[in-house]
């Protein structure tokens, strides 16, 4: 039975409370938008809030917010800096445009006449003014943002390393290269600050949330602090590239959790679960549309957004008593079945096998073609062909 939304008397009260909370939330979100610069030359926010130590479960963590770093403070902090953003893929695009809109001095360095060079020109970067070859951009930059693909960071390191001279800062958006240095060979120079800002999402989202006046959450970390200012610089950079709120981490924890999460519940795990559920429904005689709706459409269109907005308990409470009872009973069985797989996955991340696999595959000259072939195989799966048809039926797509 599907998890239809049945609003009982008890959960009417619950929803009323949730709505009140939502109103409070949206009020504070509005207040924040009002303090956030809407356009490059907007008035500066007057509210400066302090660093927060927030108790998440039993651990107290340090969190910084955009309001801690109003634009005039960012301008002053980076007044002598040039951000040399190397690579213009997903993150380069998002972080670069946000830095530019924040009024900071940013230049892009990519291979001349490659796909990224063309994409950068389309986004308004001008050759010779703020768009250069990789080497030229590094020579002009004080903060070198290495946003090449992780495999390319390893491949180009022997050429790039000598250009990261004393006085510059080296920036990454993933702990991958320095943490797995035995495999990547990215041994950083000893005399520069090395920092990380890792947005928790695609570069496209880094950009779209910033444009909406919101901000992605990111983690920040320090690998090497030679100036004594590396941490503060990482925090300021996290805000400068468009984050709304940021958490402290280490390079190791960032790369381990990130590789684990994307292979698990964020991407690989959820795809595996969708496929398993869909296949069983089809093998047991259900129609394609029914199997798709009960596996993906209801999840993404109704239930997952509720979890995102108000939490898992709210989602349970917003569903029928029948759906709720079954889900509560089956959830521990799934957890028990899956936990060993998650442990295997974590081991494979920690021992470097996932890094090795990624470097080997993504360093092949024809990796894009091979990847495209795999995407085509996914597109061709019945479940996703059905999904394409189902999406067309949504009224907003008619």
Ligand X SMILES: NC(=O)c1ccc[n+]([C@@H]2O[C@H](COP(=O)([O-])OP(=O)(O)OC[C@H]3O[C@@H](n4cnc5c(N)ncnc54)[C@H](OP(=O)(O)O)[C@@H]3O)[C@@H](O)[C@H]2O)c1
| Binds ligand X by CB under 6 A, chosen from 68, 81, 150, 193 | 150
| Binds ligand X by CB under 6 A, chosen from 88, 180, 251, 316 | 88
Q: Does residue 253 belong to the site contacting ligand X (CB under 6 A)?
A: no
| Binds ligand X by CB under 6 A, chosen from 42, 51, 61, 114 | 114
Q: Give me the least distance between CB of 159 and ligand X, in Å please.
A: 9
How far is residue 90's CA from residue 11's CA, in Å, rounded to a whole number?
42
Q: Does residue 174 belong to the site contacting ligand X (CB under 6 A)?
A: yes
User: Which residue's CB is nearer to ligand X, number 83 or number 88?
Assistant: 88
Q: Does residue 155 belong to the site contacting ligand X (CB under 6 A)?
A: yes
| Binds ligand X by CB under 6 A, chosen from 11, 102, 105, 116 | 116
Cα 251–chain centre separation:
15
Can 93 be counted among the known catalytic residues? no
Segment contacting ligand X by CB under 6 A, of 195-203, 230-238, 282-290, 334-342: 195-203
Q: Which residue is nearest to ligand X (CB)?
A: 89
135 labeled binding residue = no
Beta pairing, strands 143-146 & 83-86: parallel
How many chain residues interact with ligand X (CB under 6 A)? 25
Cα–Cα–Cα angle for 14, 18, 23, rounded to 5 degrees: 150
How far is residue 173's CA from residue 195's CA, in Å, rounded to a whole number?
9
How far is residue 6's CA from residue 8's CA, in Å, rounded to a whole number?
6
CA neighbor of 197 nearest in space, from 345, 55, 337, 98:
98
Query: From the candidates 174, 256, 271, 286, which is the catalytic residue?
Result: 174
Q: Does residue 111 belong to the site contacting ligand X (CB under 6 A)?
A: yes
Backbone φ and ψ of 27, nearest 5°: -65, -45
- State the catalytic residues: 174
Residue ranges in contact with ligand X by CB under 6 A: 87-92, 110-111, 114-116, 147-150, 152, 155-156, 173-174, 176, 198-199, 202-203
């Amino acid at each position: 039975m599907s998890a239809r939304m049945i609003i009982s008397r008890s959960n009417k009260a619950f929803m009323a409370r949730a709505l009140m909370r939502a109103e409070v939330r949206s009020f504070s979100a509005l207040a924040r938008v009002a303090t956030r610069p809407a356009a490059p030359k907007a008035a500066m926010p007057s509210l400066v809030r302090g660093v927060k130590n927030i108790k998440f479960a039993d651990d107290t963590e340090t969190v910084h917010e955009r309001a801690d770093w109003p634009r005039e403070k960012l301008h002053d902090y980076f007044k002598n800096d040039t951000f040399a953003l190397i690579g213009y893929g997903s993150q380069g695009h998002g972080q670069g445009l946000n830095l530019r809109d924040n009024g900071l001095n940013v230049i892009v360095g990519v291979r001349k006449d490659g796909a990224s060079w063309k994409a950068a020109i389309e986004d308004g970067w001008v050759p010779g003014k703020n768009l250069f070859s990789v080497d030229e951009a590094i020579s002009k930059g004080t903060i070198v943002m290495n946003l090449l693909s992780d495999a390319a960071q390893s491949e180009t390191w022997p050429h790039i390393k000598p250009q990261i001279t004393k006085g510059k800062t080296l920036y990454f958006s993933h702990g991958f290269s320095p943490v797995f240095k035995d495999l990547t060979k990215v041994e950083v120079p000893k005399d520069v600050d090395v920092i990380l800002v890792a947005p928790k999402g695609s570069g496209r989202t880094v950009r779209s949330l910033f444009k909406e006046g919101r901000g992605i959450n990111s983690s920040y970390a320090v690998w090497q602090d030679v100036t004594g200012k590396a941490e503060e610089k990482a925090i300021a950079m996290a805000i400068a590239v468009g984050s709304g709120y940021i958490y402290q981490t280490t390079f190791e924890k960032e790369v381990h959790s990130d590789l684990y999460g994307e292979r698990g519940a964020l991407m690989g795990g959820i795809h595996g679960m969708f496929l398993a559920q869909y296949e069983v429904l089809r093998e047991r005689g259900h129609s394609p549309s029914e199997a798709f709706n009960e596996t993906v459409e209801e999840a993404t269109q109704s239930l997952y957004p509720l979890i995102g907005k108000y939490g898992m308990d709210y989602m349970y409470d917003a569903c029928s008593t029948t759906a709720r009872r079954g889900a509560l009973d089956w959830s521990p069985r799934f957890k028990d079945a899956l936990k060993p797989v998650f442990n295997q996955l974590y081991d494979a991340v920690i021992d470097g096998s996932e890094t090795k696999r990624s470097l080997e595959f993504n360093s092949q000259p024809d990796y894009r073609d091979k990847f495209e072939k795999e995407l085509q195989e996914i597109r061709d799966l019945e479940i996703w062909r059905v999904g394409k048809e189902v999406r067309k039926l949504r009224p907003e797509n008619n």
